[in-house]
Amino acid sequence: MKNIYKYALIAFLCGLIFFVFEVPCRELFKISDTTEVRIVAALPLLFGISFGFWGVFGCAVANLIADIMSGYEPIIFIPGFFVQIIYGYVPAVIWNKLRKKDKNKYKLDKIYKIVQYMIIVILDSAATAFMVVSVIKLQFNESYFSMLSANIFFNQFITMVVIGIPYLICASLLYQRKQRKLAKKKINFIFSFSLNEKFILFFLVSSIVISIAIGTASYPSIAIKYGESNLYLWSYVYFLIGGLLNIGIWVSLGFLYYMERTVTKPIENMSQIAKTIGQNTDVYIKIHNILQKCQKYVYFTSEIGKLARSYQEMATELDDYVKNLTEATAKEQKVHTELSIATTIQRASLSNPLKVEGLDNYAMMHPALEVGGDFYDNFFIDDDHIALLIADVSGKGVPAALFMMVSKIVLKHNLQHGLSPAEALNRANDELAEHNIHDMFVTCLCGVLNIKTGHLVYANAGHEKPIIRHKGGDFKVVDIKSGFVLAGMEGYKFKEFEVDLKPGDSIFTYTDGIPEAINEKNEEFGMDRLLKVLNESKNDSVHARCRKVRMAVKEFTGKAPQFDDITMVSFEIKEPETDSAQKA
């Protein structure tokens, strides 16, 4: 019942908006005896994109009422009602289908999206002209290639471009604001357009101004050539404006396509910021350089803005923390302070276990005395997919911790934008390698799990191979070929692997701090001992299993110092509970 009220309200409001703007157009903006400039022509498509069928239905009802008020015969306004629904709903469905994989269906941040919209508009305008003329032919002798059909085509095209593009861009901003509210983000929402959106708005306004200026200036020439009445002369001017606007938009799209390929992209700007991490040994110089480079990007709502705010927050916290401690300490204490900062960065970067129905997951990390760069991350990509990351950065101390943060941000950015594990590693490798003047590197195991089907796709960048146990079996090391490390060689392409996990199946991932742990006799813990502990605890929960691995390593090493981080991430597909278990 609630849905009925909701749809009725949508139809009423959309129809009311359509009607309020439709009726004045019929009286004030006539360009021929049978046609007027209808600025509402774009609303059925736009409301269809935003609200679905009921948004289009409301517009169709409003147009029907306006036709009746204008004195049209039933043979005209009844078919016209269905024409209104068809030309509004069909292109809206096509657009929503094309944007099915996009989180924000309104966002025009890519050139191909704008081209798709323009093609839809042109085809819809032509179809509308054909359908409307077909309806009019039921009562009047009208040609398909008449001034009326041209008026209808250009009216549809111009309004869908002039009103439609700004509508989608503004709707995109409102959608982003809504999503931030739903996610309960504490940072204030900042209205900002993407680079492509700014360009298309600029070129759209420029094309409109130029088209109107040329069209109006051409009025005397058109009057001399055609010698028509004033009303029909404005039809020719309107055609000229529509044609010029069409040309202007397509020229603009050509320029934007060139800019998209040649202008520095947000991720490349982020790489330039990351370059400052390895330029100097003094942490204060690093912090200053990071803050300076981030300053002009922090108010952007695009990806570079998110990354810049993350860098700024990190750098500011580092600056305050270091200043408060180093003022009262000697040189040796300063070294200790930097290690403490790195530990804080490392711990702050770790994610909490995900709460997913049917999935048991746990992760733990025990840093070494000298802070390393181990990290892991688990997060939702969408409702059906989660990302699973575990990585180990070379080096120790603050450089490793900062490089770890950069690597984590880049990988998360790539995965959240729909890249596959291999594609995410490929792009991260190129971005990290570009300015890697200190030859740091990252090993990483990156996977995307479909939580509904259990299908896992993963790629390995020089990391320890995962250990998998299928229901009823033992834990075994997966026999795959590990790729090269991240940031080691620009242009390297990683390979993907797939596995289907069923209820009862488990995966255990880890860093080299476990098999390479050394005891007082300089012996390594090794893979055999790790597999033994895992198989002895295969019936335990993933939490208990990870704890037993940690205790086994601790007992083996004894009093020997821990030289590397010990990190592990494990998850298991839960088996459905039996009826007896549910009753209990």
Domains in the chain, number: 3
Residue-level pLDDT at 312: 78
Looking at 148, 171, 193, which one is the last position of a domain?
A: 193
Give yes or no: residues 154 and 301 share one domain. no
pLDDT at 87 > cutoff 50:
yes
Residue 328: how many other CB atoms lie within 10 Å: 7
Residue 479: CATH number of its domain: 3.60.40.10
Query: Strands of 566-573's sheet, edge to edge?
Result: 359-366, 566-573, 506-510, 467-469, 476-477
The mean pLDDT value for 219-229 works out to: 61
pLDDT value at residue 536: 95
Judgement on whether residues 11 and 135 belong to the same structural domain of the protein: yes
Same domain, yes or no: 306 and 397:
no
pLDDT in tens, 446-496: 999 999 999 999 999 999 999 999 999 999 999 998 899 999 899 999 999
Which residues, in sequence order, are CB contacts of 533 under 8 Å at separation 6+? Answer: 548, 549, 552
CATH code at position 23: 1.10.1760
As given in the structure block, the two tokens for residue 374 are 């181990």
Q: Name the token pair of 96.
A: 């929503």
| 60 and 148, same domain (yes or no) | yes
Residue 268 tokens read as 């490349």
Average the pLDDT over 394-409 and give the result: 81
So what's the pLDDT on residue 582?
46
Nearest to 506, CA basis, from 436, 438, 571, 559: 571
Assess if residue 479 is contained within a domain: yes
318 plus 406 within the same structural domain: no
| Same domain membership, residue 378 and residue 321 | no
Are residues 488 and 559 part of one domain?
yes
* Residue pair 562/368 in contact by the 8 Å Cβ criterion: yes
Say whether both 152 and 282 belong to one domain.
no
Q: Which amino acid is at 271?
A: S
Residue 168 lies in a domain: yes
Q: Which residue has the higher pLDDT, 374 or 222?
A: 374
- Pair type for strands 442-450 and 385-393: antiparallel
Of 147, 174, 193, which marks where a domain is finished? 193
Q: Establish if 253 belongs to a structural domain.
A: no
**pLDDT digit string, tens, across residues 229-256:** 555 566 667 677 778 877 888 888 787 7
- Per-range mean pLDDT, top range of 171-185, 276-290, 562-576: 562-576
Rg over CA atoms, the chain: 31
Range of the domain at 14: 2-193
CA angle 518, 524, 528 (to 5 degrees): 140
Could you tell me if residue 292 is inside a domain?
Answer: yes
Question: Is the confidence at residue 579, as pLDDT, over 50?
Answer: no
**Mean of the per-residue pLDDT values of the chain:** 82
Instruction: Note the helical H segments in 349-485.
Output: 397-416, 421-434
My answer on whether 288 and 361 are in the same domain is no
Answer yes or no: do 525 and 386 share one domain.
yes
Distance CA 179, CA 189 (A): 10
Q: pLDDT tens digit string along 487-541?
A: 989 999 999 999 999 999 999 999 999 999 999 999 999 999 999 999 999 999 9
CA distance 278 to 407: 13
DSSP result, 496-545: EEEEE--TT-EEEEE-TTTTT-B-TTS-B-HHHHHHHHHHHTTTS-HHHH
Residue linked to tokens 């051409």: 218
Mean pLDDT of 185-211: 72
Whether residue 345 has pLDDT greater than 80: no
Residue 364 CB neighbour total at 10 angstroms: 16
Residues 10 and 119 reside in one and the same domain: yes
Please indicate, yes or no, if residue 157 is contained in any of the structural domains: yes
Domain presence at residue 124: yes
Please check whether residue 50 lies inside any domain of the structure: yes
Task: Mark whether 441 and 475 lie in a shared domain.
Answer: yes
**Helices 111-136 & 230-262 angle (0-180, nearest 10):** 160
**What percentage of the chain carries pLDDT values higher than 70?**
79
Residue 163 in domain: yes
Query: What digits encode the pLDDT tens for the residues 28-56?
Result: 665 555 556 677 888 999 999 999 999 99
What is this structure's pTM? 0.45
Which of the listed residues 173, 193, 213 is the one where a domain comes to its end? Answer: 193
- Calpha distance 444→403 (Å, rounded): 13
Separation of alpha carbons 394 and 374, rounded Å: 9
Lookup result for tokens 């289908």: 97
Find the DSSP H helices in 417-517: 421-434
Answer yes or no: is pLDDT of 422 > 70: yes
pLDDT score, position 374: 84
